[in-house]
Structure 1
């Protein structure tokens, strides 16, 4: 099983940072274009709230999250960890006044140079 394209650590770090940029982008059209550079067309996301495949469903989920917390944003709280074609990033999501409304970790599996799987683990969800 070798359907991966080797990425350097720097390339994977860059893709993970772009992944966070996608989730922080407020414009759905821009976000969709960014997704095409980072995610495989059939990317699968597994989150406690949904399992979805593809750009459109993920974009709709991000829209819903941003509607709940329009001033929110994802910020890394630890450096990216990389193991072969897998990267994980620990993050917080909140407002400038309360940066850790939600904390968690994303695990991205890269295939053919793009993220093919995204597993989201949420630690805490505090009320606004």
Structure 2
């Protein structure tokens, strides 16, 4: 998978409403010990913690979907990209890869 493919698969996780399907996606995209941080969440570790937050967020934003804005740059196992959540929010994420999957995510809201 290319860097862009992995990022798109990561955004699919955020768009998935079904908890079981979301966990299946997470196993293929995120390392087991993945770390997630954004302005509202500090140190979510692993699939279960992130999935719980995503489930709550999905309930709040209705049908809004995450889309990729642009991959701004990628080097040395890291990538910076922009995203949009429908008309609700936009932001930037920095991801770090390990063995072809995402190991850490640091999100910023605009």
TM-score by length of 2: 0.92
Mapping 1:66-85, distance limit 5 Å: 66-79=58-71, 81-85=73-77
Give the secondary-structure state (helix, strand or coil) at the position aligned to 1:55. Answer: helix
Instruction: Check conservation: 2:71, 2:79, Cα contact below 8 A.
Output: no
1:28 to 19, 42, 53: 19
Q: Report the structure number with the largest CA radius of gyration.
A: 1
Distance in 1, Cα, partners of 2:39 & 2:61: 18
User: How many angstroms does 1:106 deviate by?
Assistant: 1.1
Runs of 4+ in structure 1 over 6 Å off:
none
Is there any run of 5+ residues in structure 1 with no aligned partner, and where?
Answer: 1-9, 124-128
Alignment of 1:116 onto 2:103:
yes
Is there any run of 5+ residues in structure 2 with no aligned partner, and where?
Answer: none
User: How many angstroms does 1:108 deviate by?
Assistant: 0.7
- CA RMSD across the alignment: 1.3
1:16 to 7, 12, 31: 7
1:57 to 40, 49, 72: 49
Matching residue of 1:38: 29
Instruction: Check conservation: 2:82, 2:93, Cα contact below 8 A.
Output: yes
Higher share in strand = 2
Q: How many residues get paired?
A: 109
Higher share in helix = 2
2:93 to 91, 106, 109: 106
TM-score by length of 1: 0.80
